[in-house]
């Protein structure tokens, strides 16, 4: 069952490529691998801290105020990390710019924080780490392709052999969507081969009957 959950989280429930949550950083930070890594780490840290806070305060937050509380917690956590980035990593902060502030209302962060309000602290931390690492991996995958083939460089280091073969469209905002679509198709193909037809029915409206039965039996 653990394998089902891991593959489902990375494939059919990938927040950046499939559920299309938090794709704003996908546009902003994936032109440069360093910026993508910084944004991914920022999202991971924000998911972890906001999820932990919501899990610890779940008894103090009425159910009808869960979503507003999630917005407030995410805004506060992102503001703190924004100040830290501005002080410690000014060069990366200049690249990311206003998109760091935009994380305050990022649906990925808010949804994860609201969901953590109904979970134990340990489970909230595990979910935050899983989502964060998946999001980081997605950003890095898109960033590597965009920078290497669009800018003929990697992490700011030029690749002379690719200068004459640069694909400028990859540096445009649409380039992130294009690469994201190809990566989603690749993940779909890999997942379809990894899982049997009885337990996987595709990206959209995907179902995992076998995993669900295992969960029901455990409960």
Residue 174 has what pLDDT?
A: 81
Residue 145 has what pLDDT?
A: 92
Residue 48 has what pLDDT?
A: 93
The rounded average pLDDT for each run of 10 residues, N- to C-terminus, in the chain (219 residues) is 48 57 72 88 91 88 87 91 87 81 82 85 87 86 91 88 87 83 78 55 40 47
73 lies in a domain?
Answer: yes
DSSP E strands, 128-179 = 153-154, 157-158
Using alpha carbons, select from 34, 12, 6 the residue that is nearest to residue 139.
34
Residue 144 has what pLDDT?
A: 92
156 lies in a domain?
Answer: yes
Domain that includes residue 192, residue range = 2-213
Opening angle at CA 79, ends 77 and 80, nearest 5: 65
Could you tell me if 50 and 106 are in contact, meaning their C-beta atoms sit under 8 angstroms apart? no
190 lies in a domain?
Answer: yes
Q: What string of DSSP letters covers 26-93?
A: HHHHTTSHHHHHHHHHHHHHHHHHHHHHHHHTTTTS-GGGHHHHHHHHHHHHHHHHHHHHHHH-HHHH
Q: Which residue has the tokens 């179902």?
A: 207
Residue 116 has what pLDDT?
A: 86
219 lies in a domain?
Answer: no
Residue 3 has what pLDDT?
A: 47
Using alpha carbons, select from 198, 201, 219 the residue that is nearest to residue 210.
198
**Number of structural domains in the chain:** 1
């Amino acid at each position: 069952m653990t394998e089902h959950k891991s593959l489902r989280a990375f494939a059919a429930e990938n927040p950046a490529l499939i559920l299309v949550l938090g794709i704003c950083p996908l546009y902003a930070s994936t032109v440069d691998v360093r910026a993508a890594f910084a944004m991914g780490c920022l999202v991971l840290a924000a998911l972890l801290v906001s999820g932990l806070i919501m899990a610890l305060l779940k008894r103090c937050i009425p159910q009808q105020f869960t979503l507003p509380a999630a917005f407030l917690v995410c805004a506060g956590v992102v503001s703190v990390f924004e100040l830290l980035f501005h002080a410690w990593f000014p060069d990366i902060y200049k690249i990311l710019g206003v998109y760091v502030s935009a994380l305050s209302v990022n649906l990925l962060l808010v949804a994860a924080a609201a969901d953590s309000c109904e979970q134990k602290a340990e489970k909230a931390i595990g979910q935050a780490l899983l989502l964060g690492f998946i999001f980081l991996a997605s950003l890095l995958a898109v960033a590597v392709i965009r920078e290497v083939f669009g800018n003929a460089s990697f992490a700011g280091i030029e690749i002379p052999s690719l200068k004459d073969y640069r694909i400028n469209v990859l540096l445009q905002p649409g380039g992130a969507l294009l690469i994201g679509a190809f990566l989603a198709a690749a993940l779909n193909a890999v997942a379809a081969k990894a899982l049997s037809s009885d337990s996987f029915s595709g990206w959209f409206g995907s179902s995992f009957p076998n995993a669900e039965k295992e969960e029901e039996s455990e409960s």
